[in-house]
Amino acid sequence: MDTLKAVILLLAAGQGILLSIALLTPRKKSSLSNIFLGLVLLILSLELLNDWGFKIHYHSNPNAIPFWILQSYLIVPPALWFFVQLNTNASFTFRKIYLVAFVPGLIEIVAEGFNKFNNTGYTLSQSQAWSIFTEIIPPVATGMVLIHYAINLWRLNRSAAISFSGSGALQWVKLYGLFFAFTLLTFLWVLEVFFLLPVFVYVEFLLIALIFALGYVGYFQPDFFSIPVFIKMKTEAAGFSRYADKDELKKLERAFSEQKLHRQPKLSLEELAAQLKLPERYVSHLINIYHHSNFNNYVNGWRVKEVIEKINDPAEQHKTLLALALEAGFNSKSSFNQIFKAHTGRTPSELLPTKS
């Protein structure tokens, strides 16, 4: 039984470390959110690996790799704090100065590493003041972070910022699932540290379940680790404060109602932005926020609208549907039929006026 448990601990720790490395590895489109979540998962994974080491007496091996010196719980509260802020607070902007929050954890890691590799025989844990600092502060600070986490979730829920259907459901699972998992872990942590209750077996079980679940979800749903769209939109909006949305929306509408830009079959967002003399991201932002659509759907909506108007115009009824579609900017019959039905729920021929 002990052997089986050791194997499970090693597998969970290994998967957790691999997942942490994936989140911590810099990528072109990676976010700070993943880096901070990766730090939290790394500490939790090292806890499982440390427990595995105790069960097989790995620590007493003279050739053992001292991975446990990286296991500073002082890293958990600030990492979790930044993860929460980046995922639930649209007005939060991370600044490099905030990295000072990780200094205590780095001091512990460096000091323990120095003592280990120089055989000083002294560890920071031998200092009563330092032991109290590293044992009491982390669970208390993590509890305070989770209270803030709960408040932010309540605000998001009250403002209906995140939809509980479609792609928003995945973000709901992420934000609430991690909240309840971290809250339960912290509760058990407090019971063990302050009340000396033997609850570590439950901590092990919860950590194993959490890491395996995150690994499974991350493999099949990579978007699980992305920042909620609502936060992205709000963050972008803050960067466009120099523009007057109302005025730019009028320019956008005139580009299609008067200038008929949608008649260009290969109209791109870049060309539209150049015509409006606005940044591409801002034009996309206007369409997303105020028309609840993306660029392609928005342009196709104008094309469909023009075809419908011409179908009902007696002066245009001598033309075929394909001719009307091509004039409106569609580049093929198949795409016209597909897009038209997607926008109206009916085929183009169904809207043709009946002849008496």
Domain with residue 296: its CATH number is 1.10.10.60
**Which residue range(s) make up the domain with 167?**
2-226
In a domain, 75, yes or no: yes
What is the distance, to the nearest Å, from the Cα of residue 327 to the centroid of all Cα atoms in its chain? 42
For residue 138, which of 213, 73, 47, 50 has the smallest C-alpha distance? 73
Structure confidence at residue 170 (pLDDT): 77
Per the structure, how many domains does the chain have? 2
Q: Are residue 192 and residue 169 in the same domain, yes or no? A: yes
Q: Are residues 172 and 244 in the same domain?
A: no
What's the pLDDT score for residue 76?
97
Contact 302, 263 (CB under 8 A): no
The answer to whether 174 and 213 have CB atoms below 8 angstroms apart is: no
pLDDT at 139: 96
In this prediction, residue 356 carries a pLDDT of 42
Give a yes or no: residue 234 inside a domain. Answer: no
Last residue of a domain, one of 196, 226, 256: 226
CATH of the domain at 50: 1.20.1070
Q: Which tokens sit at 317? A: 């009824």
Of 191, 226, 261, which residue sits at a domain end?
226
Closest CA to 155 of 180, 175, 182: 175
Instruction: Convert the pLDDT of each residue in 159-187 to its tens digit.
Output: 655 555 555 677 888 899 999 999 999 99
Which segments of the chain have a pLDDT < 70?
1, 26-30, 120-126, 159-168, 228-241, 353-356
Residue 298's contacts (CB-CB under 8 Å, 6 or more residues apart) are 287, 291
Other CB atoms within 10 A of residue 196 CB: 8
Q: Length of the chain in residues, anyone?
A: 356
Alpha helices in the chain (DSSP H): 2-24, 32-55, 76-88, 103-117, 128-158, 167-195, 200-220, 229-239, 245-257, 269-276, 280-291, 295-311, 321-328, 333-344
Neighbouring C-beta atoms of residue 69, cutoff 10 Å: 19
**251 and 141 inside one domain:** no
Residues 6+ apart with CB under 8 A from 40: 75, 76, 79, 80, 83, 182
290 and 196 share one domain: no
Please name the residues in contact with 138: beta carbons below 8 A apart, sequence gap of 6 or more: 73, 74, 76, 77, 189
Task: Please indicate, yes or no, whether residues 173 and 297 belong to a single structural domain of this protein.
Answer: no
Indicate the DSSP class of residue 227. P
Question: Are 172 and 270 contained in the same domain?
Answer: no
Residue with tokens 């829920």: 157
Question: Looking at the structure, do residues 261 and 197 belong to the same domain, yes or no?
Answer: no
Closest-CA residue to 9 (of 166, 212, 183): 212
| Same domain assignment for residues 175 and 58 | yes
How confident is the model over 212-238, as pLDDT tens digits?
999 988 877 777 887 765 565 555 555
Q: Is residue 356 part of a domain?
A: no
pTM value is 0.67
Residue 191's contacts (CB-CB under 8 Å, 6 or more residues apart) are 197, 199
Tell me the C-alpha distance between 195 and 63, whole Å.
36
